[in-house]
Structure 1
Amino acid sequence: MKAAIYTKYGSPEVIQIIDVETPSPKSNEVLIKIKASSVTRADTMMRQGIPKFGRLFLGLFKPKNTALGTGFSGVVKAIGSQITKFKVGDEVFGEKLFSTGSNSDFLCMSENELLENKPKNISHIEAAPICDGFLTSYNFLKEHAKLKKGQHVLINGASGSLGSAAVQLAKIMGAKVTGVCSTKNIDFVLSLGADEVLDYTIIKVNELQSKYDVVYDTVGKLSYSNTKNVLKANGIFMTPVLRVGLLWQMLRRPKKVKFEATGIKKTEDLKRLLNDLVNFFKQGKLHTHIDKKYHLMDIRYAHQHLDTGRKVGNVVIINP
């Protein structure tokens, strides 16, 4: 089978497509034929080895784990003897972390990992990015912000994968939503349900007169320091993008500044959140916006597109 890997840090040119043996499922695993997989900003950051202090975990001089991709959707092709939840032919989706990457033809997963049946009303392409933007943003809005009906949330980077998910989720949760994006994406963010959209090329967040219960910076461009004047007395600043300065802010103001790597939460907690998302998708309340699709052999171009910073929604790798 084909799989995308990177053996050194750098530009998209470091990505290789190699031939490896198709894995065989263990007794507690299923073998999945990947139909679609995600390419995310986190993937590009790991490929580059940034932020550099992250190399303490990823590998100082070269990546310890050379696989690429986490989110996926596909079809169960074989099952182990102890599998009870899935059967051959089931359409499934999920996320595979810290191991064999999803930017490949096949992968094996335990049924106890983050793996669920795909809602029948969405495609593999739409399902593949769910555990990136939607799961991460839902974790922040529900678990950290504890967002309530009537509260006002500002979402920076509202047109990206996490941002477009957050706009939809915040509206489902009954909040008033202000999105921040570039001029060309204003109509898109409004179409997601945002109550108002601000153009960051014209307006600076720290100069706003409005006050917010939550500032959710999905792209790591803001900080607590330059948003505290737009937060209400009990408001919080939160972001999934880790930076050295953010760590210092968290230590000083743990109730006001929030960060978490959603993927390292306990699997049972992630499954509980994912179950909510599956229900939202089944009810037609959530929609995955796909910016661009690439074949696995062209994954370098997917990374190049993400490196431009102009992604709108999600980028997906499709397999025949």
Structure 2
Amino acid sequence: MRVALAERYGPPEVAAVGTRPRPEPGRGELRIRVLAASVGASDGAWRSGRPWFARLAFGLRRPRHPVMGSDLAGLVDAVGPGTTRFAVGDRVFGATGASGGAHAEFVVVGENGAIERLPEGVSWSDAAALCDGAMTALPFLRDGGHVRPGMRVLVNGAAGSVGGAAVQLARHLGAEVTGVCSTANVDHVRALGAQHVVDRTQVDAMRTGERYDVVFDAAGKSTYRRARRALVEGGVYLTTVPSWAIMVQQLTSRLGRTRAVIMFTGLRPDEVKRPDLDELAALATTGVVRPAIDRVLPIERIADAYRIVDTGHKRGSVIVTPSTEPGEES
């Protein structure tokens, strides 16, 4: 089978298409024909080994798992002995976590992993994009920011995969949402549902005098120190990007007027992720959440996908298509 892999750390060019034997599912496992998989910021860190602490998770000298990719959607292709949750032909989506392997035509996962059935009406690309953005944004807003009706939420990086999902989910949770983005994305962020949009090239959203209950730094481009001035008493700064500073601030800010929170949503137990997958699938089916997709590329263009991700200016998710549905092969 074809896979996209990186056997050493480096620029996008180190990612290339190779071949591996098709895996066979064992007891309690299923094999998924991967029809869409996201290429996100975490994959970029996996491939590049940057920032340095990414290597603690992915391998000190080279990627521990050279076939990257976690967020996927596809068809169950085979099941191992004792598998009861899924059957061949089921539409599924979810995440493989730190073991990766989604940038391949086929991947084997445990039936009790972070995998759920995908309703009809949600496309393969949209499903992979949900895992890429909304699966991060939902726990940040719900569990980290405790967003509820009437709150004011500022989303920094509102045009990205996580930020775009955060705009829609914060609205769904009843918040008044302000999105921060570049000039080119103002209309896009407004179309996602943001009641207010700040063009970061013209205005510093942290210095407008407005105050927010939650500042969600989905792009990881600001800091708690800067965001504090824009938070109300008891307000929360959320960031997706870990650093030594935010680790310390998360501890020290607990006794202060505002709080800093960093969450590692990808490390949550699979049994915690599964209900979120079901909830997001339902929201996508009803149109409450509409995943934004920057580009859909064939697996052969994996390096191009990483180049787009590395710019830090993608509009929504970048998706690759490792395989095709049965009967569509050329």
The match for 1:244 is: 244
CA displacement at 1:56 relative to structure 2: 2.8
Structure 2 counterpart of 1:261, from 261, 264, 270: 264
On the 8 A contact 1:119/1:281 being kept in 2, the answer is no
Q: Distance in 2 between matches of 1:218 and 1:116?
A: 25
State the secondary structure of the residue aligned to 1:249: helix
Are 1:21 and 2:14 matched, yes or no?
no
Matches within 5 A, 1:1-320: 1-254=1-254, 256-318=259-321, 319-320=323-324
Say if 1:126 and 1:57 are closer, same or farther in 2 by CA, change over 3 A: closer
User: What is the DSSP-based 3-state SS (H/G/I as helix, E as strand, rest coil) of the residue aligned with 2:180?
Assistant: strand
Secondary structure of 1:101's match?
coil
Query: Cα deviation per residue 1:173-196 (whole Å; 9 max; x = unaligned)?
Result: 110000000001000000011000
Give aligned-pair identity as a percent.
36
- How far 1:306 sits from its partner (Å)? 1.2
- SS of the equivalent of 1:202 reads coil
Moved over 6 A (4+): none
User: What TM-score does the superposition give when structure 1 sets the normalisation length?
Assistant: 0.97
Say if 1:100 and 1:107, in contact at 8 Å, map to a contact too.
no
Q: Do the aligned partners of 1:51 and 1:243 also contact (CA within 8 Å) in 2?
A: no
Is the CA contact (8 Å cut-off) linking 2:144 and 2:263 kept in structure 1? no
Aligned-residue RMSD, C-alpha: 1.2
Alpha-carbon distance in 2 for matches of 1:254, 1:62 = 37
- Assess, with a 3 A threshold, how the Cα gap between structure 1 residues 248 and 84 changes in structure 2: closer, same or farther: same
1:100 to partner: Cα distance = 4.2
Q: Is the contact made by 1:93 and 1:118 (CA closer than 8 Å) also made in structure 2?
A: yes
- TM-score when normalising by structure 2: 0.94
- Contact conserved, 1:3 with 1:19, CA < 8 A, in 2? yes
Q: C-alpha separation between the residues in 2 aligned to 1:88 and 1:254?
A: 49
2: CA distance, partners of 1:10 / 1:76 = 33
1:29 is displaced (CA, Å) by: 0.7
Partner letter of residue 257 of structure 1?
A
Q: Which has the higher contact order (CA 8 A, sep 6+)?
A: 2
How many aligned residue pairs are there? 320
CA, structure 1 residues 100+177, in 2 after alignment: closer, same or farther (shift >3 Å)?
Answer: closer
In structure 2, runs of 5+ residues without a counterpart are: 325-330
Distance change (3 Å), C-alpha of 1:308 and 1:100: closer
Deviations 1:228-254 (A, max 9, x none): 011000100011111222122122114
